[in-house]
Amino acid sequence: MITRWLAASAFFIFLVALWHLAVQAHLWSPLVLPSPLNVFDWLWSASQDGTLLEATLVTVRRLLLGYAVGLLIGLPLGLLNASFRWCEDTIGILALGLQTLPSVCWVPLALIWFGQTESAMLFVVVMGTVWSLIIAADNGVRNIPPIYLRAARSMGSRGLHTWTRVILPAALPFLLSGMKQGWAFAWRSLMAAEIFVTILTGFGLGHLLHYGRELNAMDQVIGVMLVIVVIGLAVDKTLFAPVEQFLHRRWGTARQ
């Protein structure tokens, strides 16, 4: 474990060193590619005055709310798709088509319907999340080995008992993968919404990205991007990864 951490640390130190060397070689203007020190200086100053923390909290709050609504809508609809052919031919096709639609395409519609409000933000995040969750839940149920269902029926399992004791537990690895994908889509949707929707109820990380671009402050742009990456990694390692490891151990698919 220590060797893995050292190797990973060396890799990222190497990337920062390459970044520093590219700046020192003046391949690009400092306005286009600031040095790592300038980016870290901005992160430090934004942390000290509370700007970064406030924007992070606003963005995470919106993200969690939109993601939760997407889960509540997407997972049940995905299970319905896997259960009824009519749902597969209607909701399933709709989800498959709308999943390919970039999240930013929902922003003009949200602005017309809801205006510059938190509801517009929520709408964009939900629309960017729910379709991938529907498809993931549908695929998760359909990829269950048929022997599981036949064995359950032979032992007298029917209806709700089959769903709660056989289908859902067997589909959990696929559902978790879909939830991770939905989380990534939620991030992209929210950043698109925050860049284009300006509201007074809170400035998030997307707004900091937008204002950094407007002011040609690339240290701010890159700093915010680093914060988004760190938050994404932290959520994956502390939330999704432990559940994923448990499921792999439970089903005997863990790597040795």
Looking at this protein, which amino acid is placed at residue 74? G
The confidence score (pLDDT) of residue 203 equals 82
The confidence score (pLDDT) of residue 254 equals 54
Question: Which class is 36-251 in CATH?
Answer: mainly alpha
Q: pLDDT (tens digit, 9 = 90+) per residue, 151-202? A: 777 877 777 777 777 777 777 877 888 888 888 888 888 888 888 877 766 7
Per domain, the residue ranges of the chain are 36-251
The single-letter DSSP state of residue 158 is: -
- CA nearest to 139, candidates 178, 101, 185: 178
User: What value does the mean pLDDT take over residues 58-76?
Assistant: 90
Q: Backbone phi, then psi, for 93, in 5-degree steps?
A: -65, -40
- CA nearest to 201, candidates 53, 54, 29: 54
By CB neighbour count within 10 A (0-12 exposed, 13-18 middle, 19+ buried), where does 40 fall? middle
| pLDDT band at 40; cut points 50, 70, 90 | very high
- Average pLDDT over all residues of the chain: 83
User: What value does the mean pLDDT take over residues 70-89?
Assistant: 85
Whether the per-residue pLDDT at 94 is higher than 80: the answer is: yes
The confidence score (pLDDT) of residue 226 equals 92
Q: Give the chain's length.
A: 256
pTM, to two decimals: 0.83
| pLDDT band at 50; cut points 50, 70, 90 | confident
CB atoms inside a 10 Å sphere around CB 171: 24
